[in-house]
Structures are given as structure tokens and as C-alpha cells.
């Protein structure tokens, strides 16, 4: 009897250890459109639709979808400007697109961060049809994620000229900003738009993610202290309920760079928050997890790094994002069962990419983002859990840790630093 009990206890222990371990992933390089050397996968739906962007031979970036091994350029229908990208897609194949117009912005605001001075417009794409989303009286708008009901988080300029807006060009290529902007939820199928007001006393807001309950997250602040994507932050990380009521999520010690970047259907929020009032997005800003019961929790960084951001959270509470070292080099992470792990240690040593940023994780545990190839180009990736198997010593985690960060081409490094708001040369 003692032997049987001991065996049962040992089996239970092994099972619990297996559950606590992060999964082993198979890594797929999603590639680029013909002639391109740069791509990013921004979102993967629960049924495998992947959205993102890819450069082409002339250097412009096109909105793309990946499905069952195919890459599809959807930048042509209805889009007249040179650059576009997909930032959300749901199980119905409805994709949310940010695209430049062919028309110059009258204030030269560079809302899309491409440096062209063209208007930046939000669209919803489905079944080959590109539908423009309405604005609030300004010239520009931006999309975030869409939920499975077809509601789209985002933000749009209103007609208010704000002298407090920053006059110069930001590190990520946006600006000079002239007009205020407000968080919105679009419902393209019904032609509706709801405005999400910022916190009392604030004048601008942005919504970047919406769950199936209609809860949205993002940032609230003033035009002077709120940065547009791709960096995206404000003094206050916030959650909006479906009725439009807004709540400050708090911070990790600083009121400089705070934002809710994702919310799951359990109401758990992942994002980034500054540790002090002297933090920047690339130094002293950490990933966080917020729950209604416990409030905001600092998720820290990978060993030796100085900043991190939680980019996505699935319904199981797994968080993915990036962790950055003191030289501005990022690497993708997975935080599961309370442990943050370098995603590079969870893929085979001979994988085609070193993973720089994990942008989304779906309910099946599939992860998308971007990494660097052996030649220094940046490519989108898909990391697929390997049939429930767990990482083993054969993966040689040390072989792909921070000591083996790869070479980045000059163009790739420039684009990456722009995305992360890093000033170093």
C-alpha cells in the first residue's frame, strides 16, 4: 500500500511540474511579400487568421494576412497611400487596417509614423471589401484590436487645436501633433461609433484593445504627455467599461509612461508602466498585469534587462511581450504560471529566427510577433505549441539567451529603434 501511495504522489508531483513548465514551440518564419526584407505579425485570431504588415521591393509597407501558409496583400482595395498595416483580426476574418491616404495632412502631423506627412486613416476589411471608419472632425484616426462581435477599438482626432501638443517630431516618427484625439469604439457592420471619454481632467485618450464583453483598454492624458503608436503611452493606463465609464488602473511608481495594451475576456489587463517619473519606454518601464481583485502587479523583466512591456494576454492569463536590455536590444518573452521566460529558450536551437517581440497570444497558445534572421532582416513569426510537449534539456536554452543576440541590419535596426522610441545610434 505504501508503494502505491508513493507512486501516486510521485505521479501527481510530476504532473504538477509539467503543468508549471512553459510549452515547447515550433517556430515558423512567415516571410515577406516579394522583394521585402521586413515584416511583422501583429495579431492571431483563435482560428488561425494572422494579420500584420510586410515591406515590398520599393520599401513601402503593406497590410497583409497570413492563413494556412499563404501571405495575402490586402493593401490595394480602397487604399490610395503607400503604407498600411493590419492591427487586429477576429474569427470572422474581419481585419482592422491603418493606412495612409494619398492626401497630405494639412498640419503635417505624421499620425501613422511613416514620416510622409500624409493623412492616416482607419479601415475595416472583410471579404475583399475595405470600409473606411468615421473620424471625429479631425484628419486622422488609428485602429487597435477588434473583438469577435465586430467591435473595433481605436482613436480619432477631433477638431480641437491644442497649443499644449508637442511641436516637434517624436522619436517614433509621429508629430508634430496639432489636434486632440479621443478613444472610440467602431461597429463597422452597423455604421456606429461610440466615443470613450478620458479620465476627468484629461483631454485625450486612445483605446488599443477590446474584449468580447465590450471592455476596452488604453491610455488617458493630455496632448502634451500622451504618445501615439508605435510607442503609445500616457500618464494613466485605463479601462473603459461597455457603458463608457473609465477607471485608472494605477501605475508601478511613475506617471510618465503607462498604458493598458490588452484585455482578455476575464477582464485581466496586460500593459506597461513606468517605475519612476524619470522612466522612459526603453528604460525603467515594466510589463504589468492588472486584475480587479489585486490591482496592478509588476511583472519585471528578463534577467539583466532594464525595461519590458506586456503586449497581449489570452483567456488563460498567459502574457507575452518584449524585454529590453541597456543597449536597446529586445527579446520576446512568455509569462505563464507566474514565471517570465525568454521565448527564444522555448524553440529549437536551429529555429530560423531570434525572437525580438511577441505581439499576441491566442486562446490556443499560438504566439505571433517578429524576429531577426541570420542575415539581419526582420521577419514575422508564428510560434505553435508542440502538441503539449514541454521544453527539455535538449533545447539548450543557454544557446539562445542574451549572450547570443543576433546581428541586425542597419535598416532593420533603424525601424526597430523607431518602434521602441530608442534614441541611441
How many domains does one find in the chain? 2
In a domain, 212, yes or no: yes
* Domain end position, chosen among 188, 213, 240: 240
Within 8 A by CB and 6+ apart from 390, the residues are 18, 21, 22, 23, 24
Same domain as 161, residue 215: yes
Domain that holds residue 203: 76-224+235-240
211 within domain boundaries: yes
The reply to whether 282 and 358 lie within a common domain is yes
Report the distance separating Cα 394 and Cα 383, nearest Å.
Answer: 18
Q: Is the domain of 214 the same as that of 279?
A: no
Strand partners, 295: 291
Residues 265 and 206 in one domain: no
8 within some domain:
no
Q: How far apart are CA 151 and CA 315, in angstroms?
A: 18
For residue range 160-173, list pLDDT tens digits in order. 999 999 999 988 89
193 with 155, same domain: the answer is: yes
Q: What is the pLDDT of residue 200?
A: 98
Which of 240, 275, 306 is at the close of a domain?
A: 240
Please check whether residues 179 and 278 belong to one and the same domain.
no
Please say whether the beta carbons of 347 and 383 come within 8 A. Answer: yes
The answer to whether 118 and 104 are in contact (CB under 8 A) is yes
CA distances 54 to 87, 172, 262, 383, 414, Å, are 12, 18, 23, 18, 16
pTM exceeds 0.75, yes or no: yes
For residues 327 and 315, give the distance between their C-alpha atoms in angstroms, rounded to a whole number: 33
Confidence of residue 298 (pLDDT cuts 50, 70, 90): very high
Same structural domain for residues 181 and 266? no
Percent of the chain with pLDDT over 90: 81
d(CA 107, CA 159): 12
Q: Judge whether residue 14 has pLDDT over 50.
A: no
- pLDDT tens for 67-113 read 998 999 999 888 989 999 999 999 999 999 999 999 999 999 999 99
Query: Are 259 and 204 found together in one domain?
Result: no
DSSP one-letter string for 23-91: EEEEEEEEE-STT--BEEEEEE-TTS-EEEEEE-TTS-EEEEEEETTEEEE--STT--SS-EEEEEE-T
Query: Of 182, 211, 240, which residue constitutes the final position of a domain?
Result: 240
Please give the pLDDT value at position 172: 87
Is there a single domain that holds both residue 271 and residue 413?
A: yes
CA distance 31 to 17: 36
Residue 371 contacts by C-beta under 8 Å, 6 or more apart in sequence? 29, 332, 353, 354, 355, 356, 357, 378, 379, 381
Residues 336, 371, single domain; the answer is yes
φ, ψ for residue 265 (rounded to 5)?
Answer: -75, -5
Rounded-to-integer distance, Cα 49 and Cα 269, Å = 23
Amino acid at each position: 500500500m505504501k508503494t502505491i501511495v508513493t507512486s501516486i504522489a510521485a505521479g501527481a508531483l510530476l504532473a504538477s511540474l509539467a503543468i508549471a513548465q512553459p510549452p515547447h514551440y515550433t517556430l515558423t518564419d512567415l516571410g515577406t511579400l516579394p522583394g521585402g526584407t521586413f515584416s511583422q505579425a501583429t495579431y492571431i485570431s483563435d482560428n488561425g487568421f494572422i494579420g500584420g504588415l510586410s515591406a515590398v521591393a520599393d520599401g513601402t509597407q503593406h497590410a497583409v494576412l497570413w492563413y494556412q501558409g499563404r501571405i495575402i496583400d490586402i493593401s490595394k482595395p480602397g487604399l490610395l497611400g503607400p503604407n498600411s498595416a493590419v492591427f487586429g483580426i477576429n474569427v470572422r476574418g474581419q481585419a482592422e487596417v491603418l493606412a495612409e491616404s494619398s492626401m497630405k495632412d494639412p498640419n503635417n502631423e505624421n499620425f501613422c509614423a511613416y514620416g510622409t506627412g500624409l493623412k492616416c486613416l482607419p479601415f475595416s476589411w472583410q471579404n475583399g471589401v475595405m470600409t473606411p471608419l468615421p473620424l471625429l472632425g479631425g484628419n486622422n484616426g488609428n485602429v487597435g484590436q477588434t473583438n469577435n462581435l465586430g467591435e473595433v477599438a481605436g482613436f480619432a482626432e477631433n477638431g480641437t487645436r491644442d497649443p499644449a501638443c508637442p511641436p516637434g517630431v517624436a522619436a517614433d516618427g509621429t508629430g508634430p501633433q496639432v489636434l486632440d484625439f479621443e478613444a472610440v469604439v467602431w461597429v463597422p457592420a452597423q455604421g456606429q461609433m461610440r466615443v470613450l471619454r478620458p479620465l476627468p481632467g484629461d483631454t485625450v485618450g486612445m483605446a488599443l484593445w477590446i474584449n468580447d464583453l465590450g471592455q476596452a483598454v488604453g491610455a488617458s492624458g493630455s496632448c502634451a504627455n500622451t504618445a501615439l503608436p508605435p510607442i503609445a503611452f500616457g500618464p494613466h493606463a485605463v479601462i473603459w467599461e461597455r457603458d463608457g465609464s473609465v477607471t485608472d488602473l494605477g501605475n508601478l511608481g511613475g506617471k510618465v509612461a503607462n498604458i493598458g495594451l490588452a484585455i482578455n475576456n476575464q477582464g485581466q489587463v496586460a500593459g506597461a508602466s513606468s517605475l519612476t517619473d524619470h522612466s522612459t519606454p526603453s528604460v525603467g518601464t515594466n510589463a504589468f498585469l492588472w486584475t480587479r481583485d489585486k490591482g496592478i502587479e509588476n511583472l519585471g523583466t528578463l534577467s539583466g534587462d532594464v525595461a519590458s512591456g506586456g503586449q497581449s494576454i489570452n483567456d488563460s492569463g498567459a502574457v507575452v511581450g518584449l524585454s529590453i536590455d541597456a543597449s536597446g536590444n529586445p527579446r520576446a518573452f512568455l509569462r505563464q504560471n507566474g514565471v517570465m521566460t525568454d521565448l527564444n529558450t522555448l524553440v529549437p536551437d536551429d529555429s530560423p529566427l531570434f525572437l525580438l517581440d511577441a505581439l499576441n497570444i491566442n486562446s490556443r497558445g499560438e504566439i505571433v510577433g517578429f524576429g531577426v534572421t541570420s542575415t539581419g532582416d526582420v521577419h514575422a513569426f508564428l510560434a505553435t505549441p508542440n502538441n503539449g510537449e514541454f521544453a527539455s534539456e535538449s533545447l539548450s536554452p543557454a544557446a539562445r539567451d542574451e549572450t547570443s543576440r543576433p546581428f541586425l541590419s542597419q535598416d532593420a535596426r533603424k525601424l526597430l529603434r523607431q518602434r521602441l522610441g530608442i534614441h541611441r545610434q
